[in-house]
Amino acid sequence: MKSVDLTGAVWRKSSHSNGQAECVEVAFLGDGTVGIRDSKESGDGSALLVSRLGWVAFQGGLLGEEFTGFH
């Protein structure tokens, strides 16, 4: 398993989050890895790491509404 230092990561929330605490944050890391985390858990250093291609595929699934029905 790959270990990545997230100390200097710049995390972003969707502009649609309206400042609520239940958001997903994303950081694009220098090595092409994308970090994804729950904003409520942002202080513990945990994040899901995916490749850039994995991120693009996930976004495609969202836009294609492959994940409808999940809450």
The model's pTM: 0.73
pLDDT of residue 23: 82
Does 49 reside within a domain? yes
Does 2 reside within a domain? no
pLDDT of residue 19: 65
Number of domains the chain is built from: 1
- The dihedral built from the CA positions of residue 40, 43, 47 and 52, taken in this order, carries a sign that is positive
Residues 2-53: tens digit of each pLDDT: 677 788 889 988 777 766 666 888 999 988 899 998 887 766 668 889 999 9
Answer whether residue 71 shows pLDDT above 60.
no
- Nearest 10 degrees: CA dihedral of 42, 48, 53, 58? -80
pLDDT of residue 43: 66
All residues at 6 or more sequence positions from 50 whose CB lies less than 8 Å from its CB, including other chains: 33, 34, 36, 58
Does 35 reside within a domain? yes
Does 42 reside within a domain? yes
pLDDT of residue 59: 86
Residue entry with tokens 């409808």: 68
